[in-house]
Structure 1
């Protein structure tokens, strides 16, 4: 579909194109209802998600047309260009823990260059890549579908998108599920400042204890402390002797990236990550299958296209502290306390600190005029930390929070947790929402294959 470049000044500048998708209801006799879903990031594609969604929840797929889209700035929709592949690799090169003056200046210079390149290569498009503009695109999509009200499902960043949509267009919301919540009542600066703690918590309290439990399989240490020491020693080794596989270089930042990506879902990611970490400990004798898994894991961290969608939204939506001295101090503290993600804080913050000031409107989320919204979050979610979800829940009056206790997966619905799925399905299909906040236990942690 075609949308205005700027919804607040339609007709000014060239229109943008938003690619959309639809999976029609399997049982249209139940009436015409639309469930709009969006992807996280910001920067992930939503186009192919309806097919997977209805496969995992066939009853919902029978009752709803499930629709999605690539948000402006993403994938098949009009998008920005900010980096070449080489520039992207350079952005993550080296060691973000290196606090020498030369290293810090290099990080800041690359962040400033990224922001400059976005403006030079994409023109004024980047200023219109923000959540407020995106929710206006969503409402046009709703209108083109010919319905007065939609239901909504959104995970991760899509909770921010959903909360903004519900705030700006409450009259068009029937039901909404916000899964793994950003603190969408706050600023992106506040949201991202919480992540170093939550990723470190997930890594040390959950993953390292798990891999130590299976020391007979992975030989990584029999306690969490021993496993952490093994990981830190490998990171130090990669600083001095990075591993090269073809055009891929695995240094300390790449170890951080692969590890933090592994924290998102225990069932899907812990066993592959543990196998990769184990293979790095005997790299000289690693099997071809182990080397292939390592290459696949380290080659899959984001992309220039993702970065070109992520930074415009996070830098445009809400104000950032633009004082570099503040970020040097803050990042030093977080690198020391929460190094897994805290070490990269300066690179991300310096990008937004050098970004042109945005005139994106401030959207205050209150819940006014809305039906009860269902929110989901696990207590040790690394990316959308529970403390932020509690804050968002408090801001969104009338919402109900389903807390998954004892776990830390990112994304609760359609995650093989029958307790969660039954609550969400009852809400989407019958409008039944818990009378009060409630809890579900997390599913058991995985066991090593074989």
Structure 2
């Protein structure tokens, strides 16, 4: 059955709203009023002596042998569990929680402590500094690398969102959420309410917000600095590489603890000067732009291989034909996957340039699936049904990836305008406009805690952004840069749409600039524009008319010459690509509206 069945949507009901992205000034319907947020979280952190004096049981991480087998100069990475308060503002009011951390020591002269976050929120990241360093082994020699699973996720104390099999089975269902009608609205509202209820009964979930994670990082910097060897460098400053949601996390840290902020590189930026709710508004437009202006033209240029159309318009029409066929087969019970699954899978393949061939093949796979008449064993099963259980009242875990978003920003309580906007977006942006609808955050039981980010007192942060980024639209990154222009420097990549640039080998220009900053502390003298490289199978770079072309910043864009990319082994490059795919699949899953 191929790719569609292999990637049959995971999660029991996917009760989720869109990944927060960048502000979309073209939103067709005005947003509903937001409920009041809690005041800006006070960044002052008081760390009790009991937390600073705990002794950790460091043991080799299970991923360390693999890293060392690929990069023979890599140091051993050790893992431990450390205890922190559930609520840093009221440490005695709740039970403590545990965080999973990893640490390796520089093999050369250390420049200090560096950590990395790949995005999310809600992604495990314990092994990410070591795995990304495989693509740039100098990180092993120049930095002590800190890995951590954010509170609530991975091997850290986990967030739990629990309901029952009976509650899941009782949810109203529709075959295609793109069809906007009263039945669709009822299904979306019911799923959103159940998701909020499922996440609202766990004590920890209220404290799974970015500010608490920022405070965890500040504690880890302080703790590791206090327990470092006498000959080790000071950990007075934290150095950081963040992608996607990791840019939001990094900006909040720099704004909270500017005097402890070292070299911060933020890649594929959210508009972290705005709210989570405002950010999510551009996902419909930015993913459709990436698909229609970059992927579909690429497929058309390679029509002899994929036979999906010779122009981007014909490829787009073919997509709609395939989608209609998949939906028909789903409704007739001939297929276990629906049109929404096609949208979801194609979306996950838009993050990386290297996935364009897989995206084209996915369209062919779904076309074949729609045309087939499967056996009874392969017929449809409810994608939202709970796993088999002995009792309808038995607890069932549902997706927990929305918790941080809901805790970080207020969402509208009046859902009628949200549904009206989703109806309009489904027409304006038919690819995934219907996903930007009501979700658990509209019914969230906990108060939100947000921040106003201005980076006052922080050193200059390096921002990296591709013009056609689908998951964090360029317009949002530019808005964040303009709001903090005295504290940020923006590197744009023209005619590129990769989500995640530095250390991925996609842009030699970005790698050169990023290396100069991370290893030498040198920033471009002004905002800079890099040129894209040609896509797989293309003979040249094809122009994408986008925001970089009309960008008129007070600092003139300059175009440095292309340079050779720093070398890394094929195995290391493959690891980074697998990491990107893992992040894309997990983030795209959390986009789903149900």
Question: Structure 1 length normalisation: TM-score?
Answer: 0.89
Higher helix share: 1
Corresponding residue for residue 370 of structure 1? 458
Distance 1:244 1:250 in 2: 11
Distance 1:429 1:305 in 2: 43
Deviations 1:197-243 (A, max 9, x none): 10010010110111111111111111111111111111112222129
Corresponding residue for residue 293 of structure 1? none
Contact 1:244 1:250 in 2 (8 A): no
Q: How does 1:48-87 map to 2 (within 5 A)?
A: 48-82=127-161
Verify: 1:217 aligned to 2:272, yes or no: no
Corresponding residue for residue 336 of structure 1? 427
Corresponding residue for residue 301 of structure 1? none
Bigger CA drift: 403-412 or 414-423? 414-423
Structure 1 residue 114, shift from structure 2 partner: 0.8
Distance 2:296 2:110 in 1: 49
Structure 1 residue 280, shift from structure 2 partner: 2.3
Deviations 1:397-443 (A, max 9, x none): 32100001111000010121211111111101111001110011122
User: In structure 2, which of residues 194, 206, 212 is the aligned counterpart of residue 133 of structure 1?
Assistant: 212
Alpha carbons of 1:307 and 1:341: their partners in 2 closer, same or farther (altered >3 Å)?
farther
Verify: 1:25 aligned to 2:113, yes or no: no
Give structure 1 stretches of 5+ with no counterpart. Answer: 287-297, 299-303
Verify: 1:415 aligned to 2:504, yes or no: yes
Alpha carbons of 1:53 and 1:70: their partners in 2 closer, same or farther (altered >3 Å)?
same
Alpha carbons of 1:244 and 1:18: their partners in 2 closer, same or farther (altered >3 Å)?
farther
Corresponding residue for residue 16 of structure 1? 97
Distance 1:69 1:232 in 2: 42
Contact 1:22 1:50 in 2 (8 A): no
Q: How does 1:254-273 map to 2 (within 5 A)?
A: 254-267=341-354, 269-273=355-359
Runs of 4+ in 1 over 4 A off after TM superposition: 83-88, 90-93, 243-246
Corresponding residue for residue 329 of structure 2? 241
Distance 2:172 2:495 in 1: 36
Contact 2:326 2:366 in 1 (8 A): no
Contact 2:409 2:448 in 1 (8 A): no
SS at 1:211's partner residue? helix
Structure 1 residue 194, shift from structure 2 partner: 1.1
Alpha carbons of 1:222 and 1:187: their partners in 2 closer, same or farther (altered >3 Å)?
same
Considering only CA atoms, is the larger Rg found in Structure 1 or Structure 2? 2
Contact 1:196 1:338 in 2 (8 A): yes
Distance 2:535 2:491 in 1: 20
Distance 1:65 1:157 in 2: 23
Corresponding residue for residue 379 of structure 1? 467
- With CA pairs under 8 Å and 6+ residues apart, which has the higher RCO, 1 or 2? 2
Contact 2:106 2:145 in 1 (8 A): yes
SS at 1:336's partner residue? helix
Structure 1 residue 74, shift from structure 2 partner: 1.2
Aligned-residue Cα RMSD (Å) equals 2.7
Alpha carbons of 1:265 and 1:275: their partners in 2 closer, same or farther (altered >3 Å)?
same
Distance 1:306 1:266 in 2: 31
Deviations 1:265-301 (A, max 9, x none): 111x111121121122234899xxxxxxxxxxx9xxx
User: In structure 2, which of residues 497, 518, 522 is the aligned counterpart of residue 432 of structure 1?
Assistant: 522
SS at 2:264's partner residue? strand
Distance 1:328 1:200 in 2: 20
Q: How many residues align?
A: 425
Give structure 2 stretches of 5+ with no counterpart. Answer: 1-81, 226-234, 373-382, 384-395, 539-594
Distance 1:66 1:153 in 2: 11
